[in-house]
Amino acid sequence: MRIEANLILFFWAFSIFSCLCFSVSSVNFGYRFHSSAIKAEQVKLPRKSSGTNKLYKTKYFTQILDHFNFNPKSYQKFQHRYLINDTYWGGPKKNSPIFVYTGNEGDIEWFAQNTGFMFDIAPHFQALLVFIEHRFYGKSIPFGGDKDVAYSNASTLGYLTSTQALADYATLIIDLKKNLTAVDAPVVVFGGSYGGSMIKIQFKQTLISFLFFSCLILMFWAVLASWFRLKYPHVAIGALASSAPILNFENITSPYSFNNIITQDFRSESENCYKVIKGSWKKIEDTGKQSGGLELLRKSFRICKNFIDVDVLESWLETAFAYTAMTDYPTPSNFLNPMPAYPVKQMCKAIDDPKSGNDTFAKLYGAASVYYNYSGTATCFNLAYSPDPHGLDMWSWQACTEMIMPTSGSNKESIFPENQWNYSRRAAACKAFYGVHPRPNWITTEFGGHDIYRVLKRYGSNMIFFNGLRDPWSGGGVLKNISKTIVAIVAEQGAHHVDLRFATKDDPKWLRDVRQMEINIISDWISQYYHDLAHQS
């Protein structure tokens, strides 16, 4: 069965927390991925001695399609993209380290441009930097690079799995070290979150609501980094996993945790802010049902004239609140959109502004503008469809197969409408769209998760888990030390992988301290490696 292009677009529409509603009798795939909401961080590029000024070089590795079977199709090859920066590398004679970014569900260049910590510390360690793209994303497309073929059905998409991706990374790293005559160079892997999108589906009058988790930008690369260290300890001597929700599988973590943290982020700033947002959903829905209500909503929120819908408008607002909570950074950023420092505080200031009186919609518009229009350049907001600028399409496949994360629950205290996680609805939707049944127990079978503090203490080592408690993903993270070498760093004011961002002069002391702790731990790993290498010799 071929998956039509509009079906694929539907699944990733609305980025991390978008919601869609449609009926079987009249499917509308014109809903929008908020492309304007996703922009690469502006970075200061390292200057090489030769006078060139580039962040990385682009290279390709001939990768095998299937690492785990030996039938003829398994031996097919594809061009696997990776980025490399040798500006500060001490070279193979010194066995200088190699820092590898385990790519996630999108274009690798986007993520490389937003992982400044690796560039910042490369001079200190004289490290080679390598950013490896995840298969089926960006330009690393199997089946001749043809997305129409690669994305066509479950037979081709079946090669898109986390285990295949990890094997890709191991194969590429080993080959790269051989080619660089750097077989003894220590490798440290880095990652900072796989992504997410919440989709509401009205299916024969039944509302199906579930979260498809991707860090997009924001979740999976840290998960992959930690899993890579566990599965390939002979390839990487250590892993820094920032904001990695490795406990968000198979009901290890409460499905209400994610939205509860978002709720607390806003409620901690202002009780009135929390109450206004919490009470707004019914007001929006009631207004939409009234004669002329949709037009009133369109004008209140400055929505462009081409499209307006209550469910999509609510999704648009939910996206703003959820993304802002995740990226509640202490300094201005434009990782997703241009935003001020502490954007949750700024949203609540807009809601609490006495100038808006009792006008709930004016308050919400002011809050949403912090996320969608902080630069002040937007004249209206377009809810209609636009192309995905970062190649996130196929996260929906992973969310329908192995990445089953029960995180969409909202209880009575939640800032979002009350909702229960329902696996059977997720499974039914995945079966309807892809013809596959999810495997909710596979991740914990393959990588573990249950009793992790007892299990990893006995066989794991050299891992850093960073979590900021203002990050909704922290509920599924490792929040306490597992052993002397598996360390949890927890920052009460931290947001999503804030430690991996480029350092700025305005970073608070706690953030500088977190990064210094990470540098010290990585230094210990490398020193121990050199000691063991010399002793072995």
Amino acid identity of residue 454, one-letter, is R
C-alpha span between 493 and 467 (Å, rounded): 10
Among residues 465, 474, 511, which one has the least CA distance to residue 265?
474
Residues that are catalytic: 193, 471, 496
377 phi and psi angles, rounded to 5 deg = -95, -15
Among residues 491, 495, 216, which one has the least CA distance to residue 339?
495
Exposure on the CB side of residue 59, measured as CA atoms within 13 A? 17
SS3 breakdown of the chain: % helix, strand, coil, rounded to 5?
Answer: 40, 15, 45
C-alpha span between 276 and 320 (Å, rounded): 15
Among residues 218, 200, 222, which one has the least CA distance to residue 209?
200
SS (H, E, C) 380-447: CECCECCCCCCCCCCHHHHHCCCCCCCCCCECCCCCCCCECCCHHHHHHHHHHHHCCCCCCCHHHHHH
Coil vs helix vs strand at 93: helix
Among residues 514, 484, 488, 509, which one has the least CA distance to residue 499?
514
Q: What contacts 49, CB < 8 A, 6 or more positions away? A: none
The CA-based angle 294-314-337, given to 5 degrees, is 115
The CA-based angle 265-491-353, given to 5 degrees, is 30
Pairing of strands 486-491, 463-468: parallel
Amino acid identity of residue 272, one-letter, is N
For 250-308, the DSSP string reads TTSS-TTHHHHHHHHHHHHH-HHHHHHHHHHHHHHHHHHHSTTHHHHHHHHTTB-TT--
Cβ–Cβ under 8 Å, residues 128 and 84: yes
Among residues 339, 393, 348, 341, which one has the least CA distance to residue 366?
348
DSSP state of 41: P
CB contact burial 257-275 (16+ within 10 A = b; e otherwise): bbbbbbbbbbbebbeebbe
C-alpha span between 160 and 214 (Å, rounded): 14
132: which strand partners? 82, 102
| Length of the chain measured in residues | 537
